[in-house]
Structure 1
């Protein structure tokens, strides 16, 4: 397939299937910009796998990693984004008035419909001025709920650490 044709097919696939669900409402109307060294797209399986210094951006949402897989559900909407790498990264401003949420881990799984982020292995979450570290950190964007554990399957124990900063007047 010619590169320009592949680019158009990919852009249409992403925009038609994911834009309304990926991020906050302002993000959904923004263009999706993807850079990577390689793309493997399987429309029937509903997957797009990007490899090699992947950087995906849409509005306030950014996902980076050595490998990023985007999965669609049966309705054609993006259901899960999985980023892996030595320090995979995700950031998003949950609502326009909110502070930026930033997270790192060797694996990051963003469950789009639930607006839930899992940070796995050397997990680190920064929300406002607070930080959470551990083997596993889970963050619910809309409810602002954090759950952290020291144990992560297949890895050494990584104690949970939390730093909460007082409100500034």
Structure 2
């Protein structure tokens, strides 16, 4: 993997990435975003950055890995969406610690979309979410970080290939 620290730092600064939360822990918002990839295409006028080739993005407790990551910012220069795509048979992967006293939440999908303002993650196609000791699978899984809510559904066409599956693990009694 080829890293381009200067290019990445310039792209992050141009997109205002260092000033906005990427996900869950409050302390994550003040952490720098570090991105390594094989290629970067930055369009500051459009407010977009596209990273391709073994992309690894980190901010605080958040880690995102994918074949391709697209970052868009809004009119105020804040990150609005981060879209990650898997490739080569691998799904995009996202993990983050929701709160200091909670275990890391992990999610996979052919596409992973993070909506910054709503603090919402969409896992699309071959979706899987591990939250605490519970697991959710389906064609589509949506996770609301602040509310710790999960919504899942099977494929829209009803073919039944990716029915929603859930494994709920009982909490240990003390």
SS at match of 2:35: strand
Superposition CA RMSD, Å: 1.9
TM-score (norm: length of structure 2): 0.87
Say whether the 8 Å CA contact 1:137–1:147 is kept in structure 2. yes
How far did 1:82 drift? 0.3
TM-score (normalised: structure 1): 0.90
**What is residue 136 of structure 1 aligned with on the other side?**
140
Provide the C-alpha distance between the structure 2 equivalents of 1:98 and 1:142, rounded to a whole number of angstroms.
Answer: 13
CA shift, 1:92, in A, is 1.0
Structure 1: runs of 5+ lacking an equivalent: none
Q: Secondary structure at the match of 1:21?
A: coil
Q: Does 1:55 align with 2:59?
A: no
Higher fraction of strand: 1
Structure 2, unmatched stretches of 5+, are none
Count of matched residue positions in the alignment of Structure 1 and Structure 2: 165
Partners of 2:56 and 2:129 lie apart in 1 by 19
CA, structure 1 residues 7+35, in 2 after alignment: closer, same or farther (shift >3 Å)? closer
Q: Cα distance 1:60–1:152, how it changes in 2: closer, same or farther (>3 A)? A: farther
Match of 1:166 in 2: 170
Contact 1:18 1:77 in 2 (8 A): no
Q: Secondary structure at the match of 2:166?
A: strand
